[in-house]
Amino acid sequence: MGMASVHRRFKDSVYEQLARIGKATSAPKRLELLDLLCQGPRTVEVLAREAAVTIANASQHLQVLRAARLVEAEKRGLYVEYRLANEEVCDFYLSLRGLAESRLAEVELVTNAYLSERGAMEPVASDELLRRVKKGEVTVLDVRPGEEYRAGHIPGALSVPIGELKARLKELPKNREVVAYCRGPYCVMAIEAVELLRKKGFTAHRLEKSVADLRARGWRVAAGEQS
């Protein structure tokens, strides 16, 4: 075998392995599962519910991700819990999302159409909201499920899952701006929270950034119960 053939076989083998990541992330639902797992470990049952697929379908997608070494599974009692293999997987997902947002105009068109229909366009710049959050000038609400809050949240944020918000409005000072966040720009829980808060007379805004986004920007992330 000539040297050129040896080089070619080596390069073909390497790119074949790299392509495994592309193949594993080529399905929309698998990307959504990675996004969900960026929030923290989950069982198949929870992932299936959040991604609006059957448990069998979610399990199949997770097996593909696991075969590509992107996720890991651990038996916990009667359930199997899935988690990302490491933080690099979440960084990869965020980079992929950012690339799609910068290169595919359709992402912005779909997002803006949805937000406009809901009247949820955010007039305050994201950097300005982040400054207020970091300075503690606003009440920050984490409206994700409690287990996601405990896995990692913005320091000082209050855990108020979206399903509990209406019953807990009295806990929030009305003379202070509220910033709600959830799982990132395509998560609708914070949009629903802002809609409810504004109807009840609060000045409220949606923070598009997720905990994973902020961690990637160097923010300190807290874990555990709120103090």
List alpha helices for 79-202, DSSP H.
87-103, 105-118, 126-135, 146-151, 189-199
**Distance of CA 69 to CAs 57, 80, 84, 126, Å?**
19, 17, 9, 34
Provide the sign of the torsion angle of the four alpha carbons 128, 133, 138, 141, taken in this order.
positive
Catalytic residue among 38, 90, 182, 187: 182
**Structure-block tokens of residue 36:** 């969900």
Q: Coil, strand or helix: which one is 107? A: helix
Q: Is 182 a catalytic residue?
A: yes
Task: Report in angstroms the alpha-carbon separations of 149 from 2, 15, 153, 155, 162.
Answer: 58, 38, 5, 10, 12
Residue 138 is which amino acid?
V
Write out the two tokens for 188. 């609708």
Q: What is the DSSP letter of 69?
A: T
Q: Are 173 and 139 in contact (CB under 8 A)?
A: yes
The residues carrying an active-site annotation are 182
